[in-house]
């Protein structure tokens, strides 16, 4: 299909223009071939993901973490090499940061909630205008250890925890990636625990004093579900070939 058609679909589906983001550019970041038949998806736009897209003869690379953050940058060094490899191989780069955390169906948070079979879903955490977090009830109350083991299985990760909340977790908040700063907001929703990617020293004592358990499943691991779900959506809607390339950072 035409790159322009696919770009317009992604922009609309992900509401790209509705987000204020610390990523300085959501959407099409590098324009390659004018037609797309095969797509590689990854969490990060990096040398490894670009090489894998090139080896797989993909026309587009879709990522959660793109090339540009915090404003314009000189096209030198690592950035130059990444862009040069994309252009040499005719690969377009499309990035969706907060839009892919937020999306109510294929977003990272929504996908994790679905994997955990959560119900009574609501939203919280006013972050850059949008309520980025999801909270809801688990199918049944579970211990911190039991929930950690389940998350380990579905995300292929190793959860670390600060078990400051109730012995049984019934209501869970989810904010993928770097969401620890929203722990206090999760408390206000009545959640027993917050599942996020990275730990934060700054929230340790407030969370302990407020009595909420913190579950850290890894920044990378919590941001793979939305990318994979987007690939499945594109396969179903446009009959495009897609492949998710797993490049874990262990973080």
Task: Note down pLDDT in tens along the chain; length 251 residues.
Answer: 999 999 999 999 999 988 877 666 899 999 999 999 999 999 999 999 999 999 999 999 999 999 998 777 899 999 999 999 999 999 999 999 999 999 999 999 999 999 999 999 999 998 766 899 999 999 999 999 999 999 999 999 999 999 999 999 999 999 999 999 999 999 999 999 999 999 999 999 999 999 999 999 999 999 999 999 999 999 999 999 999 999 999 99
Instruction: Indicate where the chain has its CATH 3.40.1390.30 domain(s).
Output: 3-97, 103-220
CATH of the domain spanning 3-97: 3.40.1390.30
Q: What is the DSSP secondary structure assignment for residue 173, as one 8-state letter?
A: E
Strands 92-95 and 193-196: unpaired
Start-to-end C-alpha separation, the chain: 36
Residue-wise pLDDT for 176-227, tens only, equals 999 999 999 999 999 999 999 999 999 999 999 999 999 999 999 999 999 9
Q: Which residue has the tokens 């998806």?
A: 41
Burial class (CB in 10 A: 0-12, 13-18, 19+), 115: middle
Domain 103-220, CATH among 1.10.10.10, 3.40.1390.30, 1.10.3720.10, 1.20.140.70:
3.40.1390.30
């Amino acid at each position: 299909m035409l790159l322009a058609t696919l770009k317009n679909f992604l922009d609309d589906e992900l509401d790209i223009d509705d987000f204020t983001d610390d990523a300085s550019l959501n959407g099409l970041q590098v324009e390659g071939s004018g037609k797309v038949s095969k797509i590689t998806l990854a969490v990060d736009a990096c040398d490894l993901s670009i090489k894998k897209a090139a080896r797989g003869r993909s026309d587009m690379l879709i990522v959660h973490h793109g090339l540009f953050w915090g404003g314009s940058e000189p096209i030198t060094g690592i950035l130059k090499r990444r862009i040069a490899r994309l252009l040499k191989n005719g690969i377009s780069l499309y990035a969706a940061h907060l839009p892919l955390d937020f999306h109510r169906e294929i977003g990272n948070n929504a996908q994790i909630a679905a994997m955990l079979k959560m119900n009574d879903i609501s939203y919280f955490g006013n972050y850059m205008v949008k309520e980025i977090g999801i909270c809801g009830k688990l199918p049944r109350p579970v211990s911190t250890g039991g929930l950690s083991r389940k998350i380990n299985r579905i995300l292929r990760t190793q959860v670390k925890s600060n078990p400051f909340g109730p012995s049984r977790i019934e209501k869970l908040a989810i904010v993928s990636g770097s969401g620890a700063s929203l722990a206090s907001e999760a408390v206000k929703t009545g959640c027993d625990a917050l599942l996020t990617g990275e730990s934060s020293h700054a929230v340790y004592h407030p969370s302990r004093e407020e009595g909420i358990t913190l579950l850290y499943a890894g920044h990378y691991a919590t941001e793979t579900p939305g990318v994979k779900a987007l690939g499945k959506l594109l396969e179903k809607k446009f009959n495009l070939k897609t492949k998710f390339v797993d490049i874990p950072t262990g973080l």
